Every structure is written in structure tokens, then in C-alpha cells.
Amino acid sequence: MSLRNSKTGKDKLDRVIAEARQDSEKRDHSYREQALKLYPWICGRCAREFTRKNLIELTVHHKDHNHDNNPTDGSNWELLCVYCHDNEHSRHEEELKRGGAQMSVKQTQAATHKPFSNLGTMIKQEKPSHK
Ligand SMILES: [Zn+2]
Ligand SMILES: [Zn+2]
């Protein structure tokens, strides 16, 4: 008689391997977790604060818009709420459309001095109503 040792038991190794596999799958998204660890959960634009409840609305923005650029020090990441993130990207697209990713188009140099108003030289012409 042979005792069938059907007790397989959960192999710890299996679990470790599974976790490792998951890990590599998650690598693409891990920058989000890293960023969330690095930075306070606050939108960098509107300063909205986040908790675990609404954390899903907090996104990781890539400052140079290159999602493959993920330095571990977080220098390319910025936490933005979905609205501000959306905003940021549409603004970026606008800039690209305008030809050139130049962010330094400042039009704040509007002239502060008003053009002379020639009030004093206005000539009132009273037309004589001869007939
Ligand atoms: Zn925001
Ligand atoms: Zn982004």
C-alpha cells in the first residue's frame, strides 16, 4: 500500500514567483506609487488635498511629458489632480500646435501708458446755418 501524499501545501516559492511576476507587470505603473510615496498627496496646481478615498483622482504627471523618463528621485514627476492634469496636457498640445514647445511666451508686457487723448485739441466746428 502506498500512501498518497496528496497534501501539496501551498508552495511558498510559487507565491514568490507570482509576486515577482506581478511586480514586473506593475513596473509601468510603479512610478505612480513611488511618486505618491515621495510627494504629499496634494495637487501641484490647485493645491487640492487627497486621501485614500479619492486618491484615484490624483495622477502623476511627467514634467517633460515623457512617460519613459522616470528618475527615482522623482524629479520628472508632479502630482496633479485629474482636472489640472488634463489642463496641463491640453495646454501642452496647444503649445505644440503653435509650433514650438516654448513656454516663455509672456504677453504681460502690455503697454501701461495710454495713448494721448487729444481732448484739448478737439475742434468744435459750429457750422453756420446760412441759407
Ligand atoms: Zn488640481
Ligand atoms: Zn501628464
**10-49, pLDDT tens digit by residue?**
688 998 888 887 765 555 568 999 999 999 999 999 999 9
- Distance CA(33)–CA(131), nearest Å, equals 91
30 domain-assigned: no
Q: What CATH number did the domain enclosing 85 receive?
A: 3.40.1800
63 domain-assigned: yes
122: CA distance to ligand 1 center in Å? 53
Q: How high is the pLDDT of residue 4?
A: 55
Tell me the three cell numbers of residue 38: 515621495
Ligand nearest to the CA of 45: 1
| DSSP one-letter code for 109 | -
49 domain-assigned: yes
- Distance CA(30)–CA(16), nearest Å, equals 18
What are the residues whose beta carbon lies below 5 Å from ligand 1 (ion)?
43, 45-46, 81, 84
pTM value?
A: 0.55
State percent of the chain over pLDDT 70.
63
Ligand nearest to the CA of 67: 2
3 domain-assigned: no
89: CA distance to ligand 2 center in Å? 6
43 domain-assigned: yes
22: CA distance to ligand 2 center in Å? 24
Q: How high is the pLDDT of residue 21?
A: 74
pLDDT in tens, 81-129: 999 999 999 999 999 999 864 544 444 344 444 455 545 545 555 566 6
DSSP string over 33-94: HHHHHHS-SB-TTT--B--TTTGGGEEEEETTS-TT---TT-TTEEEEEHHHHHHHHHHHHH
